[in-house]
Amino acid sequence: MEIDVILLSYTKNDDIYNMTKDSIESIIESESDTKFNIYLLETEKTGKYVYKYDDVKVIVPDGEFNYNRFLNIGLAECKNEWILISNNDTAYHKNWLTQMIIQHRKTGLLSMSPYCPIYALHRRYLSEQKDLFYGYRVGIELTGWSILLNRKVIDTIGEFDERFSFWYQDNDYAMNLQKHNLKHGLVKRSIVTHLLSKSHGLVSPEKKHQMTNGLAKVFYEKWPKGKLQ
């Protein structure tokens, strides 16, 4: 099997560089029979940090970081049926993809998120005797740090809205799924550890507010009834 990966990074220091390398290596080593074509969308423009992996293509877009614009640039590179969208503060466990493909074959799901074993809102499901939880709730069933989607999803909903430069991009994605009646699910046996926003401190408080709470107005103007089920 061969899938495409869009990985976003802002390699501002050695810690972030090493974290990104760890994430890349966890993806590559997670599945023995899968070739991962990784497109690393990098915000840091000096070229100080080099990623020497055969299956990693580093792309440094012009201008400031914009999550959805960078995703769209990555999408233009993708050629395969399945696309993984991932933050760089993630660690992929063995057979995470295998478990998602099992659920796809059982249910026809085209959009899925993995389970994080250290995340409180996921650990609530530990006692549940189920492998799949349907829903669009951001941070619960739909985790913006890791989403596996089929190309049919993009064919249906179109490219990502570039007004969402950071926060609310996953909310917007969820609303588009609901609008087009595309189900999304949390796959409990697909394990990916999220290291919880290690790069948030790299921007100024003013810029951080603009990229986070400042985008609420854009979201609710686009989706006045923006309730996720």
pLDDT value, residue 213: 66
Residue-wise pLDDT tens digits, 3-33: 999 999 988 899 999 999 999 999 999 999 9
Phi, psi of 135, rounded to the nearest 5 degrees: 155, 170
Q: What is the per-residue pLDDT across 29-49, written as a single tens digit (0 to 9) for each?
A: 999 999 999 999 999 888 888
Four-way CATH pick for 2-222: 3.40.50.170, 3.40.50.1220, 3.90.550.10, 3.40.50.720: 3.90.550.10
Residue labelled with tokens 């709730």: 137
- How far apart are alpha carbons 92 and 130 in whole angstroms? 21
Is residue 33 within 8 Å of 95, Cβ to Cβ?
Answer: no
Whether the model pTM is above 0.85 = yes
Q: What is the pLDDT of residues 62-104, one digit of tens each?
A: 988 899 999 999 999 999 999 999 999 999 999 999 999 999 9
* pLDDT the model gives residue 215: 84
* CB 13 within 8 Å of CB 31: no
Tokens of 99: 């478990």
